[in-house]
Amino acid sequence: MAFDKTDSDIAQAIFTVNRHAKTAPDNQYLYALKKEALVLMITQKRAEKIGLHFSKNPRKSQQQSSVLVKCGNYYFHMLPKKEDFECLEHLGQLDETYRNPPSRMNLKTAKDILSNFTGLRPQKKETAASQSTKSYKPRPIDRFYTPKKSYFD
């Protein structure tokens, strides 16, 4: 199947997925879509790594860097690899005044675009109801015996 989406369509889909992933309760699939799409865009030379930024919220109060990637009219951050520190320029602090252009794409459309582009599909989760199938067994009733030891049981 031929994939006919432009770089700006894919970048807008990545932006939408990334925005929703920040507040989603189960965000692993969304972040995996973002990462795979960016890696694929970089390998196809449709996106480029610009440089390194210091992270806004570093883990365990350690200074961390992230890779700034330009894809279409959008900029994204992703985790750096070891070779990124050797070949990319460090840009210093993140520019808080810059914002990506506004986007009007719903999450379902964005996920469809990225899953068709990357081939990544969500894993099916088994429901808890199908795992625990208990059948009802009525207790034997004996009108002269009760398992309660006192009135408060």
Rounded Cα distance between 129 and 46, Å, is 45
- Res. 1 pLDDT band, cuts 50 70 90: very low
- The string of pLDDT tens digits covering residues 128-149 is 555 566 777 776 666 666 666 6
- The string of pLDDT tens digits covering residues 95-104 is 777 888 988 9
Q: DSSP string spanning 112-129? A: HHHHHHH---PPPPPPHH
- Indicate if the alpha-carbon torsion angle 17, 21, 26, 32 is positive or negative: positive
CA distances from 146 to 10, 105, 136, 140 (A): 68, 63, 20, 10
- The string of pLDDT tens digits covering residues 2-26 is 567 888 999 999 999 999 998 988 8
Percent of the chain with pLDDT over 70: 78
